[in-house]
Structure 1
Amino acid sequence: MTTIALITGANKGIGFETARLLAATGMTVLIGARDTDRGKNATARLAAEGADARFVPLDVTDAESIAGAAADIDAEFGRLDVLVNNAGITGGLDGDGKPSSTAVSTVREVFETNVFGVVAVTNAMLPLLRRAEAARIVNVSSEVGSFGMMMDPDSPMWPVAAIAYPSSKTALTMVTGMYAKELWDTPIKVNAANPGYCATDLNGHNGFRTAAQGAEVSVRLATLPADGPTGQLWGYRWGGAGKDEYGVLPW
């Protein structure tokens, strides 16, 4: 039976590469995107490479869009095996970018996509995920959401003092933990992924890792074995090398 995976924000960047890598394992990948043209173009690109890819119109900030996507997946497949909540925005910077210069509207906009959107999509898809033999939920978080790393003067995160994006990822990691607790005694595993500082549209392509490298983190968590972990923030560890390059990050 083919594994069905939905990736939000999959028309470009890490989301697109996640879809590509999951398709390479034999999964049917559902390309969630709010922009129809970009979503269809991304789907066509993957299909041209031999992937079983389908476009699913999905705006994670729109309740009607989310309900429609869930209904379409239910009608065609009757279940969902993997959900990768990848869609995210930075919201830009106000003034000098520091908390005291940040508009509440900016924080609210970022949380709408990065936190509330994840909750809305997960809740809508959970009945489908429960029908799978052993579903996996992956929330794409970030090391900048790690309180331990952000408050360590020796950490590469120390210079970052923005509020909207980092705090949204801190909240997302806790959201991940709470879903993991709810689903603790089920076969469903819920984890947060840290792709690392990847060169994508999100940061003006300034990262030192590729989108494909970042996607590998989500793919690992999406394909965990039955004895794999749940409720973790796992991924690339800045400064790590060899066997320490990937692992559990502090919350």
Structure 2
Amino acid sequence: MSSKEIALITGANKGIGLAAARQLGEQGYTVWLGCRDAARGESAVSELRNTGVDAHLLVLDVADTQSVAAAKGKFQEQAGTLDVLINNAGISLGGVPVRVTEETVDDMRAMFEVNTLGPMRVTQAFLPLLRRSKAARIVMVSSTLGSISDTMDTASPIWSAGYGGYSATKSALNMLTAKLAKELLPEGIRVNAVNPGYTATDLNDHKGYRTVEAAAKVIVELAAFNVLGPTGGFFHDGHSHQNRHPW
């Protein structure tokens, strides 16, 4: 059996997820790309393999319980153990920022299925495999928009931001991160959330000012820590105390 650590990244066929897979692969990890679209996933895997990364495709729709279960079964059969789980897949619906009183509940429900319940589906399904690792890590990709502290700070850049439904999905994800961190602490499993910053991706029509490589860096940094690493934190550009993001 290979001694290389194994990482699974959801939503990894493009953007921050693909950048994180590449960076982990360059550090010697075996990376599994959790992708809803098999064709796009195969293309991403081929791209990584052409650069020497040990990459594999796992067809996975985080909003579909049956898809997650099937993916877990395939992963267990082919890999057996999981060291790092990065819950990166996410969506934003509703177009331009609108008043939360004007957002549709249907859009909010769809975003919660992917952005909040999706990470929980995947985490619960793959937890038995994470427990086989000597130092498992879970990283939740959140957002500064999920920070209630920043939202209520008149000096914060997001004071006037819209996207109420999307923001709520990330706030809820932050709470689940904290709950998981406390529950899994006795088992040595580290659970943290990351704010990647306003990154140029399909999610925002590439309007963000950060590159996907920069956004992926802090995700990979947290993913690479062992049992001595932090847990129960919300980080941005580093894992130290001064880089903790306000909940």
User: Shorter-chain TM-score category?
Assistant: over 0.9
Q: Counterpart of 2:228?
A: 227
Amino acid corresponding to residue 5 of structure 1 in structure 2: A
Ranges in structure 2 where 5+ consecutive residues have no aligned partner:
none
Residues 194, 233 of structure 1: 8 Å contact kept: yes
Give the SS at the match of 1:56.
strand
Cα root mean square deviation, aligned: 1.7
Residues 93, 102 of structure 1: 8 Å contact kept: no
Q: Counterpart of 2:84?
A: 82
**Structure 1 residue 191: deviation in Å?**
0.3
Amino acid corresponding to residue 111 of structure 1 in structure 2: F
Amino acid corresponding to residue 248 of structure 1 in structure 2: R
In structure 2, C-alpha distance between the alignment counterparts of 1:178 and 1:197, rounded to whole Å: 26
Give the SS at the match of 1:133.
coil
Give the SS at the match of 2:188.
coil
Are 1:248 and 2:244 counterparts? yes
**Structure 1 residue 128: deviation in Å?**
0.3
In structure 2, C-alpha distance between the alignment counterparts of 1:169 and 1:163, rounded to whole Å: 10
Q: Counterpart of 1:170?
A: 171
Amino acid corresponding to residue 138 of structure 2 in structure 1: I
Residues 137, 223 of structure 2: 8 Å contact kept: yes
In structure 2, C-alpha distance between the alignment counterparts of 1:52 and 1:208, rounded to whole Å: 30
Amino acid corresponding to residue 247 of structure 1 in structure 2: N
- What is the correspondence of 1:40-119 to structure 2 with a 5 Å cutoff? 40-93=42-95, 97-119=98-120
Give the SS at the match of 2:58.
strand
Q: Counterpart of 2:126?
A: 125
Residues 94, 103 of structure 2: 8 Å contact kept: no
In structure 2, C-alpha distance between the alignment counterparts of 1:3 and 1:55, rounded to whole Å: 16
- What is the correspondence of 1:133-144 to structure 2 with a 5 Å cutoff? 133-144=134-145
Deviations 1:146-178 (A, max 9, x none): 011111000101111331111100000111011
Deviations 1:62-105 (A, max 9, x none): 111101111111111211000000000011248x6111101110
Select 2:38's aligned residue among 33, 36, 39.
Answer: 36
Give the SS at the match of 1:183.
helix
Residues 66, 121 of structure 1: 8 Å contact kept: yes
Ranges in structure 1 where 5+ consecutive residues have no aligned partner:
238-242
In structure 1, C-alpha distance between the alignment counterparts of 2:50 and 2:163, rounded to whole Å: 40
**Structure 1 residue 185: deviation in Å?**
1.1
**Structure 1 residue 204: deviation in Å?**
0.6
In structure 2, C-alpha distance between the alignment counterparts of 1:143 and 1:78, rounded to whole Å: 34
**Structure 1 residue 226: deviation in Å?**
2.5
Give the SS at the match of 2:243.
strand
In structure 2, C-alpha distance between the alignment counterparts of 1:190 and 1:70, rounded to whole Å: 20
In structure 2, C-alpha distance between the alignment counterparts of 1:139 and 1:132, rounded to whole Å: 18
**4+ residue runs over 3 A deviation:** none
Give the SS at the match of 1:139.
strand
In structure 1, C-alpha distance between the alignment counterparts of 2:202 and 2:92, rounded to whole Å: 10
What percent of counterpart residues are identical?
Answer: 47
**Structure 1 residue 137: deviation in Å?**
0.2
**Structure 1 residue 236: deviation in Å?**
3.8
Give the SS at the match of 1:55.
strand
Deviations 1:119-160 (A, max 9, x none): 100000000000011100000001110011111000101111
Give the SS at the match of 2:8.
strand
Aligned length: 245
Q: Counterpart of 2:17?
A: 15
Give the SS at the match of 2:158.
coil
Amino acid corresponding to residue 102 of structure 1 in structure 2: E
Give the SS at the match of 1:60.
coil
